[in-house]
Structure 1
Amino acid sequence: MNAMAIEFLIASNILLWLALIGGAVVLLGVTRQVGILHERSAPLGAMITDHGPDIGDSAPTFDVFDYYGKALRIGGPEARGRETLLMFTAPTCPICDKLLPIIKSVARDEKVSVLLISDGQPEDHARFLKNHDVGDIPYIVSPEVGMRFQVGKIPYGVVLDQHGKIRAKGLTNTREHLESLLEGARSGHHSLQDYMSKQGINALNANGSGIHVEH
């Protein structure tokens, strides 16, 4: 192999290494930008994904027992005149594990009656309750309730008013989702998406009439 061929081989290897390093730098930059965009993105609120009883309908009622044998009623007027948050979970759901302290905090701070409604194997429920302190929140094992509300994904929340009517519902993976669910129930908007959609329509109508709307 002559000297020119050796020099060409060395140069090509150097160029390949430079291209590889450049590609790695670009990839790191893109990954960082994706992370920044994720952090800056506003939470979308609880997403409605099911086809169960509609918002505004009276929730179906169930006479059930919690895990420890206490008789409870799901649906209908709330005895203390509070809102009720039905949280559909599962003992093997990792997101539900992380959300439990938030649910307890919201129940305490917002003065909302919370019912944890779960499904799964008996040994999974026993292990979950051994490892997690649910406090005063009733823990109900009932696949029937989830099927009646047609809950397809968890954790899923349904907010009932004091009369037992459904006011909001949706997936609740974070504190923001859970808070948006309660805020939507109280503001008359089914979800944050519903609120933003109506705000956009109102702005279009106002601007079409020659009125400037500031948000």
Structure 2
Amino acid sequence: MSLPWIMVILVLSVLVVAQGLTLIGLITRIEPLLARAEAHLMAPDLTPAQGTSLPEVDLYAADGTVTRPSAWAGHPRLLLFATAFCPSCDQLLDGLRTTSLAPDLPVTLIAGEDSATILRDGTLPTWLDIRHDIDSELADRMGVDRTPLAVLLDEDNRVRSTFVPHAVEDLFRAAEPVAAH
């Protein structure tokens, strides 16, 4: 093979590698935008639906004290259903661990007993009230089928909205209109 052909092959190889690296860089940059667009366009119906009443179940704090949701009546609240075992929850919880902000309304993290034990390690902000129930009764009765899932409650313990939070900012953004009332 002559030197000119070797040079042509070498130049073409360099161009192919450069194009591949450029494409990888582009995909890496637009991946978050594509994920949000997909979530927005292909969003399934989330449960619980707007207007659903919060069922009465026993929710336990770390010290064993029991709270029933009726104690929250009269004040809006954000419920965050999460587990210690899902990657999306980990990403959201890591964001909560590093934020210096606090929402303008109470936020209660609802988890199963095993997850709550792990999440009560002292690394989450003190404004986040971590509660667990037995056998995920609240999540089951409300039809929660994914985590993380945020449920914004009105003063009458009815669902105002349900959404999948991807970042801490999503939680704060959802709390703003309620706190303004």
Tell me what 2:85 maps to: 92
Cα distance in 1 for residues equivalent to 2:21 and 2:119: 39
What secondary structure sits across from 1:24 in the alignment? helix
Residue 22 of structure 2 is aligned to residue 26 of structure 1: no
Q: Which runs of no fewer than 5 residues in structure 2 stay unpaired? A: none
Residue among 44, 59, 72 paired with 1:78: 72
TM-score of the aligned structures, taking structure 2 as reference length = 0.73
Pair 104,119 (structure 1): closer, same or farther in 2 beyond 3 Å: farther
Amino acid in structure 1 at the alignment position of 2:94: K
C-alpha distance after superposition, 1:81-110 (max 9, x if no partner): 321111111123422431323788343xx1
Tell me what 1:115 maps to: 108
> How high is the sequence identity, in percent, across the aligned residues?
18
Amino acid in structure 2 at the alignment position of 1:55: Q
Cα distance in 1 for residues equivalent to 2:71 and 2:117: 31
Residue 64 of structure 2 is aligned to residue 69 of structure 1: yes
Amino acid in structure 2 at the alignment position of 1:100: L
Pair 62,50 (structure 1): closer, same or farther in 2 beyond 3 Å: farther
Amino acid in structure 2 at the alignment position of 1:70: T
Amino acid in structure 1 at the alignment position of 2:131: I
Residue 49 of structure 2 is aligned to residue 58 of structure 1: no
Number of aligned positions between the proteins: 172
Q: Pairwise CA RMSD of aligned residues?
A: 3.4
Report which structure shows greater RCO (CA 8 Å, sep ≥6).
Answer: 2
TM-score of the aligned structures, taking structure 1 as reference length = 0.63
CA shift for structure 1 position 28: 2.6
Residue 161 of structure 2 is aligned to residue 161 of structure 1: no
